[in-house]
A and B are shown apart, each in its own frame.
Chain A
Amino acid sequence: MLDFTVFHTIAWPSAYSVYFFVIGISVAMFFFSTLSWYREEFQPLRQSGLYLSFALLVFGGLLLISDLSQPARFLNMLNPAYLKFDSPLAWGSLNLASFGLVSALYILMIRSGNGTNGKRLAVVGALIGLGLPIYTGFDLTVHQHRPVWNTPLMPILFVALSLLSGAAVASFLARGNEKLMAMLRSFMLWSGGATAAMLVSLLGTTAYGGTGAEITFMFMTSGTMGLIFIGLGMVLGLIVPIGLLLAPVGRQPVGMMAAGALLLVGGMALRYAILIGPQIVHTYY
Protein backbone atom coordinates (compact mmCIF):
# COMPACT_ATOMS: atom_id res chain seq x y z
CA MET A 1 0.00 0.00 0.00
CA LEU A 2 0.88 3.65 0.25
CA ASP A 3 1.79 3.56 -3.43
CA PHE A 4 0.73 6.59 -5.37
CA THR A 5 0.48 6.67 -9.09
CA VAL A 6 -1.13 9.03 -11.54
CA PHE A 7 -3.51 7.22 -13.85
CA HIS A 8 -3.63 8.03 -17.52
CA THR A 9 -6.44 7.68 -20.00
CA ILE A 10 -6.12 5.51 -23.06
CA ALA A 11 -5.28 7.60 -26.09
CA TRP A 12 -7.60 6.04 -28.64
CA PRO A 13 -11.13 5.20 -27.44
CA SER A 14 -13.49 2.50 -28.69
CA ALA A 15 -15.00 4.78 -31.37
CA TYR A 16 -11.88 4.06 -33.41
CA SER A 17 -12.65 0.33 -33.39
CA VAL A 18 -16.12 1.06 -34.79
CA TYR A 19 -14.40 3.15 -37.46
CA PHE A 20 -12.00 0.27 -38.25
CA PHE A 21 -15.02 -2.05 -38.50
CA VAL A 22 -17.15 0.04 -40.85
CA ILE A 23 -14.27 1.19 -43.02
CA GLY A 24 -13.12 -2.42 -43.42
CA ILE A 25 -16.59 -3.47 -44.58
CA SER A 26 -16.82 -0.43 -46.84
CA VAL A 27 -13.58 -1.33 -48.63
CA ALA A 28 -14.55 -4.99 -49.00
CA MET A 29 -17.95 -4.08 -50.45
CA PHE A 30 -16.27 -1.80 -52.97
CA PHE A 31 -13.88 -4.63 -53.83
CA PHE A 32 -16.80 -7.02 -54.45
CA SER A 33 -18.46 -4.39 -56.61
CA THR A 34 -15.23 -4.15 -58.63
CA LEU A 35 -15.02 -7.94 -58.89
CA SER A 36 -18.44 -7.91 -60.56
CA TRP A 37 -16.78 -6.55 -63.71
CA TYR A 38 -14.56 -9.62 -63.91
CA ARG A 39 -16.59 -12.42 -62.27
CA GLU A 40 -20.19 -12.95 -63.17
CA GLU A 41 -21.00 -14.39 -59.74
CA PHE A 42 -20.52 -10.98 -58.15
CA GLN A 43 -22.93 -9.20 -60.49
CA PRO A 44 -25.66 -8.85 -57.80
CA LEU A 45 -23.23 -6.91 -55.62
CA ARG A 46 -22.23 -4.30 -58.20
CA GLN A 47 -24.76 -1.70 -57.14
CA SER A 48 -25.85 -2.85 -53.69
CA GLY A 49 -22.21 -3.32 -52.63
CA LEU A 50 -21.22 0.05 -53.98
CA TYR A 51 -24.03 1.96 -52.29
CA LEU A 52 -23.44 0.22 -48.98
CA SER A 53 -19.71 0.89 -49.30
CA PHE A 54 -20.34 4.59 -49.83
CA ALA A 55 -22.83 4.83 -46.97
CA LEU A 56 -20.39 3.16 -44.59
CA LEU A 57 -17.56 5.35 -45.83
CA VAL A 58 -19.57 8.49 -45.05
CA PHE A 59 -20.55 7.09 -41.65
CA GLY A 60 -16.94 6.13 -40.87
CA GLY A 61 -15.63 9.52 -41.94
CA LEU A 62 -18.17 11.35 -39.79
CA LEU A 63 -17.36 9.07 -36.86
CA LEU A 64 -13.67 9.84 -37.21
CA ILE A 65 -14.32 13.57 -37.40
CA SER A 66 -16.68 13.55 -34.43
CA ASP A 67 -14.07 11.76 -32.34
CA LEU A 68 -11.57 14.58 -32.78
CA SER A 69 -11.56 16.88 -29.79
CA GLN A 70 -11.57 19.74 -32.32
CA PRO A 71 -13.91 18.36 -35.02
CA ALA A 72 -14.05 21.65 -36.94
CA ARG A 73 -10.33 21.45 -37.54
CA PHE A 74 -10.53 18.21 -39.53
CA LEU A 75 -9.80 20.31 -42.61
CA ASN A 76 -6.28 20.81 -41.25
CA MET A 77 -5.74 17.19 -42.31
CA LEU A 78 -6.30 18.23 -45.92
CA ASN A 79 -4.41 21.51 -45.73
CA PRO A 80 -1.15 21.17 -47.71
CA ALA A 81 0.45 23.85 -45.52
CA TYR A 82 -0.12 21.75 -42.41
CA LEU A 83 0.01 18.19 -43.67
CA LYS A 84 3.09 16.29 -42.52
CA PHE A 85 3.84 13.09 -44.35
CA ASP A 86 5.91 11.59 -41.53
CA SER A 87 2.61 10.68 -39.93
CA PRO A 88 0.58 7.69 -41.21
CA LEU A 89 -2.55 9.65 -40.30
CA ALA A 90 -1.71 12.21 -42.99
CA TRP A 91 -1.53 9.46 -45.62
CA GLY A 92 -4.72 7.97 -44.21
CA SER A 93 -6.65 11.21 -44.55
CA LEU A 94 -5.59 11.56 -48.18
CA ASN A 95 -6.40 7.91 -48.81
CA LEU A 96 -9.84 8.33 -47.26
CA ALA A 97 -10.60 11.51 -49.21
CA SER A 98 -9.45 10.05 -52.54
CA PHE A 99 -11.39 6.83 -51.94
CA GLY A 100 -14.50 8.90 -51.24
CA LEU A 101 -13.98 10.91 -54.41
CA VAL A 102 -13.48 7.85 -56.60
CA SER A 103 -16.48 6.13 -54.96
CA ALA A 104 -18.69 9.15 -55.72
CA LEU A 105 -17.51 9.25 -59.35
CA TYR A 106 -18.04 5.51 -59.69
CA ILE A 107 -21.61 5.89 -58.44
CA LEU A 108 -22.19 8.66 -61.00
CA MET A 109 -20.86 6.46 -63.81
CA ILE A 110 -22.99 3.52 -62.74
CA ARG A 111 -26.08 5.67 -62.54
CA SER A 112 -25.45 7.20 -65.95
CA GLY A 113 -24.85 3.76 -67.45
CA ASN A 114 -21.24 4.51 -68.46
CA GLY A 115 -19.83 1.01 -68.03
CA THR A 116 -16.38 1.63 -69.52
CA ASN A 117 -15.47 4.46 -67.18
CA GLY A 118 -17.30 2.74 -64.36
CA LYS A 119 -15.05 -0.29 -64.70
CA ARG A 120 -11.92 1.87 -64.79
CA LEU A 121 -12.98 3.78 -61.69
CA ALA A 122 -13.85 0.52 -59.96
CA VAL A 123 -10.29 -0.75 -60.46
CA VAL A 124 -8.73 2.54 -59.33
CA GLY A 125 -11.06 2.69 -56.31
CA ALA A 126 -10.30 -0.90 -55.31
CA LEU A 127 -6.57 -0.17 -55.38
CA ILE A 128 -6.99 3.02 -53.35
CA GLY A 129 -9.39 1.22 -51.02
CA LEU A 130 -6.82 -1.46 -50.31
CA GLY A 131 -4.78 1.32 -48.71
CA LEU A 132 -7.46 1.93 -46.06
CA PRO A 133 -7.17 -1.28 -44.02
CA ILE A 134 -3.41 -1.16 -44.62
CA TYR A 135 -3.17 2.35 -43.21
CA THR A 136 -5.43 1.60 -40.24
CA GLY A 137 -3.10 -1.26 -39.34
CA PHE A 138 -0.08 0.90 -40.03
CA ASP A 139 -1.50 3.57 -37.71
CA LEU A 140 -1.13 1.09 -34.87
CA THR A 141 2.10 -0.52 -36.02
CA VAL A 142 4.15 2.67 -35.91
CA HIS A 143 3.79 3.06 -32.13
CA GLN A 144 6.95 1.22 -31.27
CA HIS A 145 6.36 0.97 -27.53
CA ARG A 146 2.96 -0.73 -27.76
CA PRO A 147 2.95 -4.52 -27.54
CA VAL A 148 0.58 -6.19 -30.07
CA TRP A 149 0.31 -3.01 -32.17
CA ASN A 150 3.98 -2.83 -33.04
CA THR A 151 4.09 -5.77 -35.40
CA PRO A 152 4.28 -5.89 -39.20
CA LEU A 153 1.29 -8.25 -39.07
CA MET A 154 -1.15 -5.44 -38.25
CA PRO A 155 -1.75 -4.05 -41.77
CA ILE A 156 -2.17 -7.58 -43.19
CA LEU A 157 -4.44 -8.56 -40.31
CA PHE A 158 -6.67 -5.57 -41.02
CA VAL A 159 -6.86 -6.49 -44.73
CA ALA A 160 -7.91 -10.04 -43.77
CA LEU A 161 -10.45 -8.72 -41.25
CA SER A 162 -11.80 -6.35 -43.88
CA LEU A 163 -12.41 -9.18 -46.36
CA LEU A 164 -13.85 -11.37 -43.62
CA SER A 165 -16.38 -8.80 -42.37
CA GLY A 166 -17.16 -7.67 -45.92
CA ALA A 167 -17.89 -11.22 -47.08
CA ALA A 168 -20.09 -11.69 -44.01
CA VAL A 169 -22.15 -8.61 -44.87
CA ALA A 170 -22.27 -9.60 -48.54
CA SER A 171 -23.78 -12.97 -47.59
CA PHE A 172 -26.88 -11.05 -46.47
CA LEU A 173 -27.02 -9.10 -49.74
CA ALA A 174 -26.59 -12.21 -51.91
CA ARG A 175 -30.24 -13.19 -51.41
CA GLY A 176 -29.52 -16.87 -51.72
CA ASN A 177 -27.72 -16.64 -55.08
CA GLU A 178 -25.94 -19.98 -55.01
CA LYS A 179 -22.89 -19.11 -57.11
CA LEU A 180 -22.27 -15.90 -55.22
CA MET A 181 -22.77 -17.62 -51.87
CA ALA A 182 -20.21 -20.25 -52.84
CA MET A 183 -17.66 -17.53 -53.66
CA LEU A 184 -18.39 -15.64 -50.45
CA ARG A 185 -18.01 -18.85 -48.49
CA SER A 186 -14.53 -19.25 -49.95
CA PHE A 187 -13.70 -15.66 -49.02
CA MET A 188 -14.91 -16.21 -45.47
CA LEU A 189 -12.99 -19.44 -45.08
CA TRP A 190 -9.70 -18.19 -46.52
CA SER A 191 -9.71 -14.80 -44.80
CA GLY A 192 -10.99 -16.40 -41.58
CA GLY A 193 -8.19 -18.95 -41.69
CA ALA A 194 -5.61 -16.24 -42.35
CA THR A 195 -7.00 -14.13 -39.48
CA ALA A 196 -6.90 -17.09 -37.08
CA ALA A 197 -3.31 -17.93 -38.06
CA MET A 198 -2.20 -14.32 -37.56
CA LEU A 199 -3.97 -14.04 -34.20
CA VAL A 200 -2.36 -17.22 -32.89
CA SER A 201 1.03 -15.96 -34.02
CA LEU A 202 0.35 -12.57 -32.46
CA LEU A 203 -0.69 -14.07 -29.14
CA GLY A 204 2.36 -16.31 -29.07
CA THR A 205 4.86 -13.55 -29.70
CA THR A 206 3.08 -11.26 -27.22
CA ALA A 207 3.11 -13.86 -24.46
CA TYR A 208 6.85 -14.34 -24.92
CA GLY A 209 7.68 -10.64 -25.14
CA GLY A 210 9.12 -8.41 -22.42
CA THR A 211 7.27 -7.54 -19.24
CA GLY A 212 5.03 -4.96 -20.94
CA ALA A 213 4.08 -7.46 -23.65
CA GLU A 214 3.54 -10.20 -21.11
CA ILE A 215 1.20 -8.05 -19.01
CA THR A 216 -0.64 -6.97 -22.15
CA PHE A 217 -1.13 -10.64 -23.01
CA MET A 218 -2.54 -11.21 -19.51
CA PHE A 219 -4.90 -8.23 -19.81
CA MET A 220 -6.09 -9.36 -23.24
CA THR A 221 -6.74 -12.95 -22.32
CA SER A 222 -8.39 -12.59 -18.92
CA GLY A 223 -11.29 -10.74 -17.34
CA THR A 224 -13.70 -8.74 -19.45
CA MET A 225 -11.14 -8.08 -22.18
CA GLY A 226 -10.43 -11.82 -22.35
CA LEU A 227 -14.13 -12.48 -22.75
CA ILE A 228 -14.27 -10.01 -25.63
CA PHE A 229 -11.02 -11.03 -27.33
CA ILE A 230 -10.94 -14.77 -26.79
CA GLY A 231 -14.63 -15.50 -26.13
CA LEU A 232 -16.40 -13.25 -28.62
CA GLY A 233 -13.57 -12.56 -31.04
CA MET A 234 -11.74 -15.82 -31.44
CA VAL A 235 -14.12 -18.56 -30.34
CA LEU A 236 -17.66 -17.34 -31.07
CA GLY A 237 -16.63 -14.95 -33.85
CA LEU A 238 -14.01 -17.01 -35.69
CA ILE A 239 -13.69 -20.68 -34.75
CA VAL A 240 -17.43 -21.39 -34.48
CA PRO A 241 -18.35 -19.77 -37.83
CA ILE A 242 -15.43 -21.45 -39.61
CA GLY A 243 -16.63 -24.76 -38.18
CA LEU A 244 -20.15 -23.92 -39.29
CA LEU A 245 -18.98 -23.12 -42.81
CA LEU A 246 -17.10 -26.40 -43.03
CA ALA A 247 -20.16 -28.37 -41.91
CA PRO A 248 -22.79 -29.44 -44.51
CA VAL A 249 -25.16 -26.72 -43.27
CA GLY A 250 -22.48 -24.14 -44.03
CA ARG A 251 -23.03 -24.68 -47.76
CA GLN A 252 -26.63 -23.57 -47.48
CA PRO A 253 -27.65 -19.90 -47.42
CA VAL A 254 -29.08 -20.05 -43.92
CA GLY A 255 -25.93 -21.62 -42.51
CA MET A 256 -23.73 -19.10 -44.29
CA MET A 257 -25.76 -16.19 -43.03
CA ALA A 258 -25.58 -17.55 -39.50
CA ALA A 259 -21.80 -17.84 -39.91
CA GLY A 260 -21.74 -14.32 -41.37
CA ALA A 261 -23.58 -12.90 -38.36
CA LEU A 262 -21.10 -14.56 -35.99
CA LEU A 263 -18.16 -13.33 -38.06
CA LEU A 264 -19.47 -9.78 -37.79
CA VAL A 265 -19.71 -10.08 -34.01
CA GLY A 266 -16.19 -11.50 -33.97
CA GLY A 267 -14.81 -8.86 -36.34
CA MET A 268 -16.06 -6.07 -34.12
CA ALA A 269 -14.84 -7.76 -30.92
CA LEU A 270 -11.38 -8.42 -32.35
CA ARG A 271 -10.94 -4.85 -33.53
CA TYR A 272 -12.08 -3.54 -30.16
CA ALA A 273 -9.73 -5.81 -28.22
CA ILE A 274 -6.77 -5.12 -30.50
CA LEU A 275 -7.32 -1.38 -30.15
CA ILE A 276 -8.02 -1.15 -26.43
CA GLY A 277 -6.12 -4.11 -24.93
CA PRO A 278 -2.57 -2.93 -25.70
CA GLN A 279 -3.34 0.50 -24.23
CA ILE A 280 -4.30 -0.76 -20.77
CA VAL A 281 -0.86 -1.46 -19.34
CA HIS A 282 0.39 1.96 -20.34
CA THR A 283 -2.28 3.74 -18.31
CA TYR A 284 -0.59 2.67 -15.06
CA TYR A 285 2.78 4.29 -15.80
Chain B
Amino acid sequence: MSEELRLSSRETRGKAGLRRFGMVIDLRRCIGCDACMVACKAEYDVPLGVFRTWVPTRVVGKYPTVKKQFLPRLCNHCDDPPCVRACPVGATFKVEDGGFVLQHYDRCIGCKACMASCPYNARFMLPEHRTRSSITSVVDKCTFCYHRVIQNLVPACVQTCVGRARIFGDMNDPKSEVSRLVARHSTQVLRPEQGTKPQVFYIGADRNMSEYGRGVYDASEALDDERAVFNRNYKN
Protein backbone atom coordinates (compact mmCIF):
# COMPACT_ATOMS: atom_id res chain seq x y z
CA MET B 1 0.00 0.00 0.00
CA SER B 2 1.55 3.30 -1.00
CA GLU B 3 1.22 6.44 1.01
CA GLU B 4 0.74 9.84 -0.56
CA LEU B 5 3.80 12.08 -0.21
CA ARG B 6 3.10 14.83 2.28
CA LEU B 7 5.01 18.06 1.68
CA SER B 8 5.51 21.16 3.78
CA SER B 9 3.98 24.37 2.50
CA ARG B 10 7.30 25.41 0.94
CA GLU B 11 8.16 22.22 -0.92
CA THR B 12 7.43 21.90 -4.61
CA ARG B 13 8.56 18.33 -5.20
CA GLY B 14 6.36 16.79 -7.85
CA LYS B 15 3.90 19.70 -7.91
CA ALA B 16 2.25 19.91 -11.30
CA GLY B 17 3.12 22.98 -13.35
CA LEU B 18 6.00 24.00 -11.12
CA ARG B 19 9.63 23.59 -12.01
CA ARG B 20 12.16 22.60 -9.37
CA PHE B 21 15.66 23.26 -10.57
CA GLY B 22 18.46 21.13 -9.24
CA MET B 23 22.06 20.28 -9.94
CA VAL B 24 23.80 16.95 -10.20
CA ILE B 25 27.54 17.00 -9.56
CA ASP B 26 29.19 13.89 -10.93
CA LEU B 27 32.39 13.68 -8.91
CA ARG B 28 33.77 10.96 -11.16
CA ARG B 29 34.10 13.68 -13.79
CA CYS B 30 35.38 16.53 -11.62
CA ILE B 31 39.06 17.26 -12.22
CA GLY B 32 39.38 20.05 -9.65
CA CYS B 33 40.25 22.74 -12.18
CA ASP B 34 38.28 25.37 -10.22
CA ALA B 35 36.91 26.84 -13.45
CA CYS B 36 33.46 26.86 -11.81
CA MET B 37 34.77 29.08 -9.01
CA VAL B 38 36.35 31.45 -11.50
CA ALA B 39 33.24 31.59 -13.70
CA CYS B 40 31.10 32.36 -10.67
CA LYS B 41 33.49 35.06 -9.47
CA ALA B 42 33.45 36.62 -12.93
CA GLU B 43 29.67 36.40 -13.30
CA TYR B 44 28.93 38.19 -10.04
CA ASP B 45 32.12 40.02 -9.14
CA VAL B 46 32.18 37.97 -5.93
CA PRO B 47 34.56 39.75 -3.50
CA LEU B 48 37.83 38.35 -2.22
CA GLY B 49 37.62 35.92 0.69
CA VAL B 50 34.04 34.77 0.03
CA PHE B 51 32.58 32.36 -2.50
CA ARG B 52 29.23 31.48 -3.99
CA THR B 53 30.70 28.19 -5.06
CA TRP B 54 33.92 26.64 -3.87
CA VAL B 55 35.77 23.36 -4.31
CA PRO B 56 37.38 21.90 -1.18
CA THR B 57 40.14 19.44 -1.96
CA ARG B 58 41.53 16.62 0.11
CA VAL B 59 44.32 14.15 -0.56
CA VAL B 60 43.50 10.75 0.90
CA GLY B 61 45.37 7.45 1.14
CA LYS B 62 49.00 6.67 1.76
CA TYR B 63 51.78 7.02 -0.78
CA PRO B 64 51.90 5.55 -3.38
CA THR B 65 48.15 4.87 -3.39
CA VAL B 66 46.92 8.39 -2.93
CA LYS B 67 44.09 10.20 -4.62
CA LYS B 68 42.71 13.69 -4.64
CA GLN B 69 39.07 14.19 -3.80
CA PHE B 70 36.94 17.21 -4.66
CA LEU B 71 33.55 18.26 -3.39
CA PRO B 72 32.22 21.31 -5.26
CA ARG B 73 29.96 23.26 -2.93
CA LEU B 74 27.27 25.87 -3.43
CA CYS B 75 23.86 26.81 -2.06
CA ASN B 76 21.71 23.68 -2.11
CA HIS B 77 18.53 25.63 -2.90
CA CYS B 78 16.76 23.42 -0.40
CA ASP B 79 13.18 22.46 -1.08
CA ASP B 80 12.52 23.25 2.58
CA PRO B 81 15.12 25.97 3.26
CA PRO B 82 15.86 26.82 6.91
CA CYS B 83 17.23 30.24 5.88
CA VAL B 84 13.83 31.32 4.56
CA ARG B 85 12.26 30.35 7.86
CA ALA B 86 14.98 32.13 9.87
CA CYS B 87 14.82 35.51 8.10
CA PRO B 88 12.69 37.89 10.20
CA VAL B 89 11.91 40.34 7.39
CA GLY B 90 11.32 38.14 4.35
CA ALA B 91 14.60 39.18 2.72
CA THR B 92 15.28 35.54 1.92
CA PHE B 93 12.58 33.91 -0.12
CA LYS B 94 11.92 30.93 -2.31
CA VAL B 95 10.67 31.34 -5.88
CA GLU B 96 7.81 28.90 -6.16
CA ASP B 97 8.29 28.15 -9.85
CA GLY B 98 11.89 26.98 -10.05
CA GLY B 99 12.69 26.57 -6.37
CA PHE B 100 15.40 29.25 -6.40
CA VAL B 101 16.24 30.56 -2.93
CA LEU B 102 16.99 34.25 -3.45
CA GLN B 103 17.66 37.48 -1.59
CA HIS B 104 15.90 40.85 -1.50
CA TYR B 105 19.09 42.85 -1.03
CA ASP B 106 17.21 46.06 -0.27
CA ARG B 107 15.28 44.39 2.54
CA CYS B 108 18.11 42.50 4.27
CA ILE B 109 18.97 44.03 7.66
CA GLY B 110 22.16 42.00 8.12
CA CYS B 111 21.11 40.11 11.27
CA LYS B 112 22.87 37.00 9.91
CA ALA B 113 20.13 34.65 11.13
CA CYS B 114 20.12 33.02 7.69
CA MET B 115 23.88 32.44 7.93
CA ALA B 116 23.44 30.84 11.32
CA SER B 117 20.65 28.61 10.07
CA CYS B 118 22.31 27.32 6.88
CA PRO B 119 23.82 23.86 7.44
CA TYR B 120 25.87 24.25 4.24
CA ASN B 121 27.75 27.49 4.96
CA ALA B 122 26.44 28.75 1.65
CA ARG B 123 25.83 32.30 2.85
CA PHE B 124 28.28 35.10 3.47
CA MET B 125 28.31 38.80 4.27
CA LEU B 126 29.26 41.15 1.48
CA PRO B 127 31.96 43.69 2.42
CA GLU B 128 31.25 47.37 3.02
CA HIS B 129 33.14 48.55 -0.04
CA ARG B 130 32.91 47.08 -3.53
CA THR B 131 34.33 48.48 -6.72
CA ARG B 132 31.69 47.64 -9.31
CA SER B 133 28.55 47.02 -7.29
CA SER B 134 26.43 49.04 -4.93
CA ILE B 135 25.20 45.91 -3.16
CA THR B 136 27.19 45.95 0.08
CA SER B 137 26.89 44.86 3.73
CA VAL B 138 24.08 42.40 3.13
CA VAL B 139 24.05 38.63 3.03
CA ASP B 140 24.66 37.01 -0.33
CA LYS B 141 24.75 33.52 -1.77
CA CYS B 142 24.52 31.46 -4.95
CA THR B 143 21.34 32.13 -6.90
CA PHE B 144 21.60 29.13 -9.25
CA CYS B 145 22.20 31.95 -11.78
CA TYR B 146 18.53 32.88 -11.70
CA HIS B 147 19.11 35.69 -14.23
CA ARG B 148 20.57 33.20 -16.73
CA VAL B 149 18.13 30.35 -16.10
CA ILE B 150 15.07 32.51 -16.79
CA GLN B 151 16.62 33.19 -20.19
CA ASN B 152 16.95 29.46 -20.82
CA LEU B 153 20.68 29.46 -20.09
CA VAL B 154 22.41 27.22 -17.58
CA PRO B 155 24.30 28.61 -14.57
CA ALA B 156 27.78 29.98 -15.26
CA CYS B 157 29.50 27.19 -13.33
CA VAL B 158 27.64 24.55 -15.36
CA GLN B 159 28.39 26.33 -18.62
CA THR B 160 32.10 26.44 -17.89
CA CYS B 161 32.63 22.96 -16.43
CA VAL B 162 35.12 21.30 -18.76
CA GLY B 163 34.48 17.77 -17.51
CA ARG B 164 30.69 18.22 -17.61
CA ALA B 165 30.66 17.28 -13.97
CA ARG B 166 27.91 19.79 -13.21
CA ILE B 167 24.53 19.13 -14.81
CA PHE B 168 21.57 21.42 -14.26
CA GLY B 169 17.87 20.98 -14.93
CA ASP B 170 14.31 20.63 -13.74
CA MET B 171 13.97 17.87 -11.15
CA ASN B 172 10.18 17.91 -11.55
CA ASP B 173 10.55 16.93 -15.21
CA PRO B 174 11.11 13.15 -15.31
CA LYS B 175 12.65 13.44 -18.77
CA SER B 176 15.32 15.97 -17.80
CA GLU B 177 18.93 14.83 -17.63
CA VAL B 178 19.18 15.59 -13.93
CA SER B 179 16.07 13.54 -13.15
CA ARG B 180 17.40 10.62 -15.16
CA LEU B 181 20.81 10.82 -13.47
CA VAL B 182 19.24 10.86 -10.01
CA ALA B 183 16.96 7.98 -10.97
CA ARG B 184 19.70 5.81 -12.43
CA HIS B 185 22.62 6.48 -10.09
CA SER B 186 23.18 6.24 -6.42
CA THR B 187 23.34 9.88 -5.35
CA GLN B 188 24.20 11.65 -2.13
CA VAL B 189 23.08 14.95 -0.68
CA LEU B 190 24.84 16.90 2.06
CA ARG B 191 23.44 16.69 5.59
CA PRO B 192 20.31 14.71 4.67
CA GLU B 193 19.53 14.34 8.38
CA GLN B 194 18.65 18.05 8.56
CA GLY B 195 15.51 17.52 6.50
CA THR B 196 16.21 20.47 4.24
CA LYS B 197 15.77 18.45 1.03
CA PRO B 198 18.81 19.83 -0.82
CA GLN B 199 18.59 20.16 -4.58
CA VAL B 200 22.29 19.54 -5.21
CA PHE B 201 22.94 15.84 -5.72
CA TYR B 202 26.38 14.24 -5.82
CA ILE B 203 27.40 11.11 -7.65
CA GLY B 204 30.36 9.42 -5.99
CA ALA B 205 30.73 11.67 -2.95
CA ASP B 206 33.07 10.32 -0.31
CA ARG B 207 31.97 10.53 3.31
CA ASN B 208 35.48 11.81 4.11
CA MET B 209 34.52 15.01 2.35
CA SER B 210 30.82 15.29 3.03
CA GLU B 211 30.75 14.72 6.79
CA TYR B 212 32.33 16.46 9.76
CA GLY B 213 35.79 15.00 10.31
CA ARG B 214 37.65 14.81 13.55
CA GLY B 215 40.70 16.24 11.78
CA VAL B 216 39.63 19.83 12.42
CA TYR B 217 39.93 19.44 16.19
CA ASP B 218 43.57 18.49 16.05
CA ALA B 219 44.19 20.59 12.97
CA SER B 220 47.49 20.48 11.15
CA GLU B 221 49.83 23.43 11.56
CA ALA B 222 49.30 24.42 7.93
CA LEU B 223 45.52 24.53 8.42
CA ASP B 224 45.93 26.60 11.57
CA ASP B 225 48.26 29.01 9.77
CA GLU B 226 45.79 29.41 6.91
CA ARG B 227 43.04 29.93 9.43
CA ALA B 228 45.01 32.66 11.19
CA VAL B 229 45.58 34.47 7.89
CA PHE B 230 41.87 34.21 7.06
CA ASN B 231 40.85 35.59 10.45
CA ARG B 232 43.32 38.45 10.08
CA ASN B 233 42.19 39.47 6.63
CA TYR B 234 38.49 38.83 6.64
CA LYS B 235 36.15 40.70 8.89
CA ASN B 236 32.40 40.30 8.79
Least CB separation from A213: chain B residue: B212
A145 / chain B contacts, CB cutoff of 8 Å = 82, 119, 191, 194
Q: Quick check: B230 and A7 within 8 Å, CB to CB?
A: yes
If A70-B138, A76-B107 touch, whether A144 touches B113 (CB-CB below 8 Å) is no
A211 / chain B contacts, CB cutoff of 8 Å = 211-214
B31 at interface by CB-CB < 8 Å: no
Q: Quick check: B216 and A215 within 8 Å, CB to CB?
A: yes
Instruction: State A84–B91 Cα separation when bound (angstroms).
Output: 10
| A-contacting residues, B168-207, CB 8 Å | 191, 194-195
Q: Quick check: B88 and A89 within 8 Å, CB to CB?
A: yes
Per-position binary interface string of chain B over residues 61-76, scored 1 when its CB falls under 8 Å from any chain A CB and 0 otherwise: 0000000100001000
Chain A nearest CB, measured from B232 CB (Å): 11
Per-position binary interface string of chain B over residues 101-113, scored 1 when its CB falls under 8 Å from any chain A CB and 0 otherwise: 0000001111111
Q: Quick check: A3 and B59 within 8 Å, CB to CB?
A: yes
Instruction: State A8–B231 Cα separation when bound (angstroms).
Output: 9
Instruction: State A144–B80 Cα separation when bound (angstroms).
Output: 13
A-B contact count (CB 8 A): 133
A282 at interface by CB-CB < 8 Å: yes
Instruction: State A87–B89 Cα separation when bound (angstroms).
Output: 8
| B-contacting residues, A44-100, CB 8 Å | 68-70, 73-74, 76-77, 79, 82-84, 86-87, 89-90, 92-93
Most chain B CB within 10 A, of A11, A215, A283, is at A11
Question: Which among A3, A76, A82, A84 is the interface contact of B57 at CB below 8 angstroms?
Answer: A3
Q: Quick check: A82 and B213 within 8 Å, CB to CB?
A: no
Instruction: State A25–B38 Cα separation when bound (angstroms).
Output: 49
B220 at interface by CB-CB < 8 Å: yes
Least CB separation from B216: chain A residue: A284
A1 / chain B contacts, CB cutoff of 8 Å = 59, 220, 222
B236 / chain A contacts, CB cutoff of 8 Å = 9, 13, 69
Chain B nearest CB, measured from A63 CB (Å): 13
Q: Quick check: B117 and A4 within 8 Å, CB to CB?
A: no
A93 / chain B contacts, CB cutoff of 8 Å = 88
If A70-B138, A215-B216 touch, whether A8 touches B109 (CB-CB below 8 Å) is no
A146 / chain B contacts, CB cutoff of 8 Å = 116
A281 at interface by CB-CB < 8 Å: yes
A142 at interface by CB-CB < 8 Å: yes
Q: Quick check: B124 and A70 within 8 Å, CB to CB?
A: no
If A3-B58, A7-B230 touch, whether A70 touches B108 (CB-CB below 8 Å) is yes
B85 at interface by CB-CB < 8 Å: yes
If A89-B113, A144-B82, A145-B191 touch, whether A9 touches B234 (CB-CB below 8 Å) is yes
| B-contacting residues, A1-33, CB 8 Å | 1-9, 11-13
If A3-B59, A76-B107, A285-B212 touch, whether A11 touches B115 (CB-CB below 8 Å) is yes
A219 at interface by CB-CB < 8 Å: yes
Instruction: State A165–B220 Cα separation when bound (angstroms).
Output: 39
State the majority secondary structure of interface residues on A.
loop
Least CB separation from B73: chain A residue: A6
Q: Quick check: B212 and A12 within 8 Å, CB to CB?
A: no
Instruction: State A69–B124 Cα separation when bound (angstroms).
Output: 12
| B-contacting residues, A173-214, CB 8 Å | 210-212, 214
Per-position binary interface string of chain A over residues 114-142, scored 1 when its CB falls under 8 Å from any chain B CB and 0 otherwise: 00000000000000000000000001001
A143 at interface by CB-CB < 8 Å: yes
Instruction: State A13–B235 Cα separation when bound (angstroms).
Output: 11
If A83-B89, A145-B194 touch, whether A281 touches B216 (CB-CB below 8 Å) is yes
A104 at interface by CB-CB < 8 Å: no
Most chain A CB within 10 A, of B111, B216, B223, is at B111
Q: Quick check: B51 and A143 within 8 Å, CB to CB?
A: no
Question: Which among A69, A90, A215, A219 is the interface contact of B125 at CB below 8 angstroms?
Answer: A69
Q: Quick check: A84 and B234 within 8 Å, CB to CB?
A: no
Instruction: State A200–B109 Cα separation when bound (angstroms).
Output: 36
Instruction: State A70–B105 Cα separation when bound (angstroms).
Output: 11
Instruction: State A76–B109 Cα separation when bound (angstroms).
Output: 7
Least CB separation from A214: chain B residue: B214
Q: Quick check: A73 and B109 within 8 Å, CB to CB?
A: yes
Chain A nearest CB, measured from B32 CB (Å): 9
A227 / chain B contacts, CB cutoff of 8 Å = none
Instruction: State A73–B88 Cα separation when bound (angstroms).
Output: 12
Contacts A/B (CB < 8 Å), 5 sampled: A3-B57, A3-B58, A84-B87, A87-B87, A89-B113
Task: Give 13 new A-B contacts, CB below 8 A, not counting A7-B226, A8-B124.
Answer: A3-B220, A5-B57, A8-B121, A11-B112, A68-B110, A69-B110, A82-B107, A84-B90, A86-B85, A87-B86, A89-B88, A89-B113, A285-B121
